[in-house]
Structure 1
Amino acid sequence: MKLVNKSLLYLVAIILLLFTSYPFLYMISTSFKTMNEFFLNPFSILPGSFTLEQFSSVFEMGLTNYFVNSIIITVVSVVLVVFISALASYPLSRMKFRLNRPLFILFLIGMMIPIHATLIPIFVMSNSLGFYDKLFSLLGPYVAFALPISIFIMTQFMQEIPVELEEAAGMDGAGHWVIFSKVLFPNIVPAISTVVIYNFVHIWNEFIFALILITSPENMTLPIGLQKFYGEFSVNVPGLMAALTLASVPVILIFIIAQEKVVKGLAGGSVKG
């Protein structure tokens, strides 16, 4: 019976793998097709002849510029989110003061605010400050909406660190900054990895704020730039698939490199029962 149960589990896992991997394999295979081959056999996984024509065409249409803009805004936003959320999580998790719990709840309420309800106020504010159609205008919304979940994860993870480490550093004359930077920060690497990957994926794929706040092609990010592959009467599907394949590479690499730390960080940052 154990062998039968294990075989059934493997069978279910294989079926789920086929369902989940098919769209990704279809995207990659279609990116190597020509337009004629796609129209003749659009649902085949293996292309009849491999061609790099679509990859060269996406670079000619400005993919490099969109890619660089996305890298810049994503990396800067994630660095700011990690730094600010770590600083905010330290007093929330290690210090006792009257407004500790209300402040933590206030941060959690931030996760309940729908993004679309803030589009008009953010647009008006960016326009009045002269930030409209500037790449760095995306930093404010990206960082602000990433902080609540990031602070929640880091605060819960910091609470699991033994207080004896902090007390030992205090006895040696260490102040709050030294305790934070030398004792706590190195011990929350799994939580930092979780925050980095979660926010990297979200910001990398973010569309609505980039659509509202950016209009110039030279400042567009990758999700907005992909609209160029949509014509008025037709869509360059193989070219779009080639661009999507290239756009998914950074996210896949990050998951491969830090997947174990993500799982550990999510487990460590879970709510205690």
Structure 2
Amino acid sequence: MNPLQLVKRIMLYVLAVSLLLFTFYPFMYMVGTSLKSMNEFFDNPYAIVPDTFTFEHYFAVVDMGLAGYFLNSLIITVSAVSLTVVIASLASYPLSRLSFRFNRPLFLLFVAGMMLPIHATLIPIFVLTQEMGIYDTLLALLGPYVAFSLPISIFILTQFMQEIPKELEEAAQIDGANHWTIFRKVIFPNVTPALSTIVIYNFVFLWTEFIFALILLTTRSKMTLPLGLQNFYGELMINVPGLMAAITLASLPILLLFIIAQERVVKGLTGGALKG
């Protein structure tokens, strides 16, 4: 390795470490602060590593109702993501593998949904949920969550399905497989990277969604985690370590999901190994 290449490599490592510290510092500060006592926080609020570790704030926020908010978010998020995966998969197959008259306009109509502002739908959805009798229930969130998750999900899955070799489909047809069998046994197993991408993307979006929960939920016991954290902010306005503990617990599912499926997410975003 010549000196110029060595210098370039060193600069890349320095840049990578600098970006890591820059992006990881807020998370470390949040976790470190949540493990401080109130006295230590006031004495040294900017230190990352506390002198004495304490988990009292974690027990306190759980006792104040965080577990209920967590469960509500888990139920509605898993339900909405599961329904989105099913509908997006079924819609993407004909859009990507079948030829029919309105194929392209229909695909563009789905994609246009990504440009629809959420705030423009708040009043109609509010009125609709009241007329349907599901206002102030988790079910009221299911429709908007799925509807706003579908456009990007259909876009990603359609583009990914188009890269699957047609020879696989033709071989299945020769064996007598119909479209449902081809979708279930040929297409669906080959789009797992794209499925991982939309699962994580939509999970993060729905787990942190606030505006629909604010408009459609009023009862405290039915609130989701982002809306519940607002209540914690009022109760823990002075207790900053307690608030940091609540936020740390709220962010754990997203971090764990991304760590587990990050490789498949990268494959899904780059088109996967089937491309070309």
> What secondary structure sits across from 2:134 in the alignment?
coil
Whole-angstrom CA distance in 1 between matches of 2:16 and 2:83 = 39
Whole-angstrom CA distance in 2 between matches of 1:188 and 1:174 = 19
Q: Please show how residues 72-111 of structure 1 align to structure 2 within 5 Å.
A: 72-111=75-114
Determine if contact 1:229/1:236 at 8 Å carries over to the other structure.
no
> What secondary structure sits across from 1:21 in the alignment?
helix
Match of 2:208 among 201, 205, 228: 205
Whole-angstrom CA distance in 1 between matches of 2:72 and 2:111 = 30
1:232, distance to aligned residue in structure 2 (A): 7.5
Change in Cα spacing, 1:56 to 1:232, as seen in structure 2 (3 Å) is: closer
Aligned length in residues: 270
Whole-angstrom CA distance in 2 between matches of 1:11 and 1:267 = 26
> What secondary structure sits across from 1:188 in the alignment?
helix
Q: Please show how residues 113-128 of structure 1 align to structure 2 within 5 Å.
A: 113-128=116-131
Q: Name the structure 2 match of 1:166.
A: 169
RMSD: 1.3
> What secondary structure sits across from 1:46 in the alignment?
coil
Q: Name the structure 2 match of 1:258.
A: 261
Determine if contact 2:236/2:242 at 8 Å carries over to the other structure.
no
Counterpart of 1:144, as a letter, is A
User: Gapped runs of 5+ residues in structure 2?
Assistant: none
Q: Please show how residues 131-146 of structure 1 align to structure 2 within 5 Å.
A: 131-146=134-149
Q: Please show how residues 169-248 of structure 1 align to structure 2 within 5 Å.
A: 169-231=172-234, 234-248=237-251
> What secondary structure sits across from 2:234 in the alignment?
coil
Q: Which moved more, 1:33-42 or 1:84-93?
A: 33-42
Is the aligned partner of 1:45 residue 2:45?
Answer: no
Whole-angstrom CA distance in 2 between matches of 1:137 and 1:233 = 29
Which segments of structure 1 move beyond 4 Å, counting only runs of 4 or more? none
Change in Cα spacing, 1:145 to 1:37, as seen in structure 2 (3 Å) is: same
1:48, distance to aligned residue in structure 2 (A): 2.0
Determine if contact 2:93/2:161 at 8 Å carries over to the other structure.
yes
Whole-angstrom CA distance in 2 between matches of 1:234 and 1:139 = 31
Q: Name the structure 2 match of 1:16.
A: 19
Q: Deviations over 1:132-188 (max 9, x none)?
A: 100111000100000000000000000000111111111111111111001100010
Counterpart of 1:42, as a letter, is P
1:212, distance to aligned residue in structure 2 (A): 0.6
> What secondary structure sits across from 1:192 in the alignment?
helix
Using the size of structure 2 for normalisation, the TM-score is: 0.95
Determine if contact 1:229/1:235 at 8 Å carries over to the other structure.
no
Determine if contact 1:137/1:213 at 8 Å carries over to the other structure.
yes
1:229, distance to aligned residue in structure 2 (A): 2.0
Whole-angstrom CA distance in 2 between matches of 1:227 and 1:131 = 23
Counterpart of 1:36, as a letter, is N
Whole-angstrom CA distance in 1 between matches of 2:93 and 2:185 = 13
1:97, distance to aligned residue in structure 2 (A): 0.7
1:259, distance to aligned residue in structure 2 (A): 0.6
Identity of aligned residues (%): 67
Determine if contact 1:32/1:47 at 8 Å carries over to the other structure.
yes
Determine if contact 2:236/2:243 at 8 Å carries over to the other structure.
no
Q: Deviations over 1:190-226 (max 9, x none)?
A: 0100010100111011111011101111111110111
Whole-angstrom CA distance in 2 between matches of 1:103 and 1:7 = 50
